[in-house]
């Protein structure tokens, strides 16, 4: 197999493997149009642009990305920096026309049915309005399109932003602030490093990060995620969650990378996700497909489904 360039994160490797696996049945010459929601610095897009053509040279890849340009989400000028970096690494693409920034409550700036796949990496736990996110996801996906989201559910024990156990499960702001301060006092979490870097006090650190969890995270349960898929006409499962963890383990033990996944049995995939959701991220897999009414669905079915899609609400895919 052609050697795929190193990834900056196992999450990037995993998302590439899912896209390569799911696109295997495409006919030569097909266009595979992918949107990275919450594209940030563009590193995932750059990795996909380099790696996917090595795995699927017979398929034409088109990459797009957007992120939210608001205080607390991304730093000012992030988009121009991402475009410049991508243009330097992948000069064959006009990235200024592929990346954009929007406000949190904007409609996604793409036509209906535009994308073959929509992906995100560590984004869904930051979305303020999941109803609009899923409505826009349905609207912009082509019929039979897929969507892959790697993110932690509320079930996980060790909160990954503060590196503190169960802090995201505390709803009361005052209790959350005191909890962060107590754990910081015994040396847990990020406080010691930030104190050395900036001199921030423990109380100020606790208040600041309690606010971060309050205003910039919105964790979901497994049941809530699956129900969101159902309400918005998308098949929803945790397909590929076990492959993410086996990939991490194989990488740690053997340095092994593979980019074609063998699908697990449905019961095994569900059972492993049931356990692994307490560890870290799960892989939510969505399909815009339904054969009960639309066997052999094509353009007419796509139009019919678009007309019957749930109404859009507000969206905040903030990072």
More confident residue, 275 or 3: 275
More confident residue, 66 or 264: 66
The proportion of the chain whose per-residue pLDDT surpasses 90, expressed as a percent, equals 79
The residue with tokens 């049931």 is 274
pLDDT at 65 over 70: yes
The proportion of the chain whose per-residue pLDDT surpasses 70, expressed as a percent, equals 90
More confident residue, 256 or 220: 220
pLDDT at 155 over 90: yes
pLDDT at 234 over 50: yes
State in Å, rounded, how far the first CA of the chain is from the last one.
Answer: 35
The span from the CA of 132 to the CA of 148, in Å, is 17
Cα 221 to Cα 33, 34, 153, 156, 171: the distances in Å are 30, 26, 6, 10, 15
pLDDT for res 319 = 33
The span from the CA of 167 to the CA of 205, in Å, is 14
Cite the beta strand spans of the chain per DSSP E: 31-37, 60-68, 99-102, 115-121, 141-152, 158-159, 164-165, 235-237, 281-287
- pTM equals 0.89
pLDDT for res 72 = 64
Encode pLDDT of 132-146 as tens digits: 999 999 999 999 999
Instruction: Average the pLDDT over 114-127 and give the result.
Output: 97
- pLDDT confidence bin for 16, thresholds 50/70/90: very high
Q: Tell me the domains of the chain and their CATH numbers.
A: 10-155+218-307 (3.40.50.150), 162-216 (no CATH)
Instruction: Average the pLDDT over 45-58 and give the result.
Output: 97
Encode pLDDT of 278-319 as tens digits: 999 999 999 999 998 866 544 444 444 444 444 333 333 333
The span from the CA of 232 to the CA of 250, in Å, is 36
The residue with tokens 């940030």 is 40
Q: What is the token pair recorded at 78? A: 């992030």
């Amino acid at each position: 197999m052609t050697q795929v360039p190193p990834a900056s994160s196992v999450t990037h490797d995993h998302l590439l493997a899912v896209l390569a696996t799911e696109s295997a049945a495409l006919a030569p010459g097909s266009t595979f149009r992918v949107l990275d929601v919450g594209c940030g610095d563009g590193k995932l897009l750059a990795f996909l642009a380099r790696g996917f053509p090595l795995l699927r040279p017979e398929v034409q890849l088109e990459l797009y990305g957007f992120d939210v340009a608001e205080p607390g989400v991304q730093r000012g000028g992030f988009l121009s920096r991402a475009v410049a970096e991508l243009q330097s690494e992948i000069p064959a693409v006009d990235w200024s026309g592929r990346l954009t920034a929007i406000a949190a409550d904007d409609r996604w700036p793409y036509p209906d049915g535009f994308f073959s796949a929509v992906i995100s990496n560590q984004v869904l736990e930051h979305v303020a309005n999941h109803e609009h996110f899923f409505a826009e996801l349905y609207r912009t996906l082509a019929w039979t399109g897929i969507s892959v989201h790697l993110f932690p559910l509320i079930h996980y024990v060790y909160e990954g932003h503060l590196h503190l156990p169960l802090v995201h499960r505390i709803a009361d702001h005052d209790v959350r602030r005191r909890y962060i301060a107590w754990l910081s006092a015994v040396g847990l979490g990020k406080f010691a490093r930030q104190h050395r870097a900036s001199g921030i006090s423990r109380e100020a650190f606790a208040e600041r990060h309690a606010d971060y969890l309050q205003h910039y995270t919105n964790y979901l349960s497994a049941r809530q995620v699956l129900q969101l898929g159902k309400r918005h006409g998308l098949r929803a499962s945790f397909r590929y969650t076990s492959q993410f963890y086996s990939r991490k383990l194989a990488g740690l033990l053997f340095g092994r990378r593979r980019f074609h996944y063998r699908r697990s049995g449905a019961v095994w995939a569900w059972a492993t996700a049931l356990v692994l959701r307490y560890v870290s991220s799960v892989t939510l897999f969505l399909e815009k497909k339904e054969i009960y009414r639309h066997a052999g669905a094509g353009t007419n079915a796509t139009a019919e489904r678009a007309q019957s899609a749930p109404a859009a609400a507000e969206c905040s895919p903030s990072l």
